[in-house]
Chains A and B, each alone.
Chain A
Amino acid sequence: MKGTLAVFSALTKNWIRSRTGVFFSILFPVMLLLLFATVFSGNENIKYTIYIQNFDLKNNTPTDLSKAFIEALNSTNNFDIKYLEPNTNISYYIKTHPSFTSYRILIIPKGFQEKAINKSISTRIEIIIDTLRKILELYGNNMNQTTRDYIKNGIQGLESFNKSLNTQNVTITLLLDPSDNSATTIKGIIYSITTAFNNKLIGTKDIININIKNTSQRTLKAVDYYLPGYIAAFIMTNGIIGVTSTVSEFRRNGILKRLAATPLSKSSWIIANLLQQTLLAFLLTLIMLTLGLLAFNVTIIPDPPSLLLILIGAITFCSIGIVLGGIIKDVETAYGISNSIAFPLMFLSGAFWPVDIMPDYLQSIAKILPLYYFHQGLRELLIFKNIQQSYTSFIIMTSMAIIFTTLAIKITKWKEFE
């Protein structure tokens, strides 16, 4: 036991004094969390850039109605509106102003105001005529002849006036890039605005209203998703990349041989590594949760089950690192192989984004990766405090820990060093 603790202490000191080690184990995850959680924390305030080319001018200034329509778009706070002059050739403009953001252009045609007003008046008249006819149909028998004639004459007068109006439909044009991921959202917003604008023009009132309420007990932020995901992902990288490379390095430079020549047993060496990775995992968790509190005002206090899952995760991924470090002879190859295992794990498992947004086949792949169960379990425990939902994670991660620790003991050479 003394030997195990001595090696654990040596490994920890060796890690703490390695700038690269501390950067990739602690600082890099902290930077990523700060970056991603900040970038994606303001989803509700995302503004889509949209260009408007307004041809509906009067004395070279936009008509009142076209201005009102643009104002309605602006009032949603969803758009960053930019204007294109009516004489701008759109194709030429796009060609000469390349951008990584897809172009979205809304064209308001000439005569927008006039046609919209005429059409709205005509529609209102049609509604009145239709209402008067219904009155005659339903209540005409109860009226005297004079009243019926007044109404009929009124209908005729209105029909005659309506015919005299120029009642063309108004068509605004929305140009979108087919590759624009936000196209559907933008179309939806503009459709809603147009419908509301139409209703206002004809003077109708909303009949069905929507009352939006939160389904969560507390408002979940982006950081709630990222925190458990990043803790899990970087416990994984610390094990698979960190341990693989250090074990491989210790093997190459003879430290392992030096230790093997002492009374220290192979299992003590492995336990010392597991302890060191567990300490690192808890330290990472503490720092990430503190950052969540200080930077994003998210209070997460880990309970014993979540600490247990972190321990199991650290053991699993550290064992994988010991296995790989025991197999791979060359340090550079160890770096390469461990990176090529850890990075796909990180991105495919859903640690960085929900698996639901990935294609079906990638979702199937995610669900065979240990990291998927690790971060899912941690999210259930840390965020939702739902231990029942983490049982699968516990079962799978414990099995993995047993398998890889056994393999690590089998594969680690304590004799016949090359």
Chain B
Amino acid sequence: MIRNLKNMKEKVIEVSQLTKRYGNIIAIDNISFDVYQGEVFSLVGPNGAGKTTTVEILECLRKPTSGFARVLGYDILKDENKIKKRIGIMPQNFNAFERLTVKENIELIAKISGSKTNINEHLKLLGLWDVKDKKFGTLSGGMKRRVGICMALITDPDILFLDEPTTGLDPQARKEVWTIIKNLRKSGKTIFLTTHYMDEVEILCDRASLIVQGKIIHTASINELILKYGSGIRIIADNKPNSKEILHEFTKNISYDEDGNIVGKFSSLNDANKAFTKLYENGIRAHIIMSSMDDVFLNITGKRINEKGELI
């Protein structure tokens, strides 16, 4: 589901020609992008692409070598404290005090930040109520990430930074974190998310910047990326006598796959639906394949990212 982005006018993050070097290594190279209020924005790329360096510069945890960035209108170099008071973060490989309970860890961040928000409400909202008195060190990976998100949200931040929020989690725990992010998205919270999971971007985000080797390759809405750089919408049908004729009514782009099935490629979901319905009425078995962010990344960079976040 893609949200209407027309109302997202106000820039809450502005990044312009940002570069960060570590000696001779260029971690991020002259990158620029904007993030708008209320959107879920993702910086997506393989490991070592510069995602964490970028997010940590925006969180005032690193200084850029050159370039300029503003968060909520504040200069990251001059207004560090003002920014820190208004953002919530969950770092990569998030951790908290192992021997403190879930509630104590969250209270710690609330007290440091001077937050007056209701901790119990947040615990309930994030499904942490039952484990609030458990020590952080005894929680599962998924629960720990929930605590991380809760700690980030406890200050009621204007922007939530989630650095690789689901890396290393099992599929069930990932889905639980996704549900939380989806709910936050519904509430209108601005979220800046880094990930190497393409499905995460597709499911959770409004817009994304593709980053590879410190350079931003493309920034656009997920819709636009898929339509422009995806592999389109495909119908793969059994090779029956009238399969080709039916598909040909709706598209000229027809080919055959390695199993001899007939493949029709569509630029419009409406045409694909009509073709699929007609095939079904004629008793021809077929299925629709939507284009994904994986295709987008492959088509733009010529490479894929595996489960571990490596470029292949």
Contacts and interface: CB of A to CB of B under 8 A. Distances in A.
B112 A13 contact: no
Contacts of B151: 258
A35 to B, nearest CB: 29
Contacts of B220: none
B104 interface: yes
Interface stretch (B58-66, B210-218, B301-309): B58-66
B100 interface: yes
A264 B99 CA distance: 21
Contact of A416 (B59, B62, B98): B62
Interface residue tally of chain B, by bracket?
Answer: 20 to 34
Nearest to A264: B112
Interface in B101-129: 104-105, 107-109, 111-114
Nearest to A10: B108
B93 interface: yes
A87 interface: no
A14 interface: yes
Contact of B85 (A18, A257, A263): A263
Given A6-B111, A261-B89, A263-B81, A253 B95 contact: yes
A416 B63 contact: yes
Given A261-B84, A263-B84, A415-B61, A7 B100 contact: no
Residue among B56, B108, B151 with the highest chain A CB neighbour number at 10 A: B108
A13 B104 contact: yes
B112 A6 contact: yes
A10 B63 contact: no
B59 A261 contact: yes
Contacts of A415: 60-63
B91 interface: yes
A263 B113 contact: yes
B97 interface: yes
A259 B60 CA distance: 12
Nearest to A2: B111
A17 B99 CA distance: 6
Contacts, number: 78
Contacts of A14: 97-100
A298 to B, nearest CB: 35
A254 interface: yes
Given A7-B112, A260-B61, A262-B112, A13 B100 contact: yes
B150 to A, nearest CB: 13
B91 A258 contact: yes
Residue among A7, A253, A258, A260 with the highest chain B CB neighbour number at 10 A: A258
A255 interface: yes
Contacts of B109: 258, 262
Interface residues of A, number: 25
Nearest to B151: A258
Nearest to B93: A254
Contacts of B111: 2-3, 5-6
B116 to A, nearest CB: 12
A221 to B, nearest CB: 39
Contacts of B89: 258, 261
A256 to B, nearest CB: 10
Given A17-B135, A257-B91, A261-B61, A10 B100 contact: yes
B33 interface: no
A417 interface: yes
Interface in A1-50: 2-3, 5-7, 9-10, 13-14, 17-18
29 contacts: A2-B114, A3-B112, A6-B111, A10-B97, A10-B108, A13-B97, A13-B99, A253-B93, A254-B91, A255-B96, A257-B61, A257-B91, A258-B95, A258-B96, A258-B109, A258-B151, A261-B59, A261-B61, A261-B84, A262-B84, A262-B112, A263-B112, A264-B112, A415-B61, A415-B62, A416-B61, A416-B63, A417-B56, A417-B61
Give 6 nearest A-B pairs by CB, closest first.
A6-B111, A17-B99, A3-B112, A253-B95, A254-B95, A261-B89
Given A254-B93, A258-B91, A415-B61, 18 more contacts: A2-B112, A6-B112, A9-B108, A13-B99, A14-B100, A18-B99, A253-B95, A254-B94, A257-B91, A258-B96, A258-B109, A261-B89, A261-B91, A262-B84, A262-B113, A263-B81, A263-B114, A415-B62
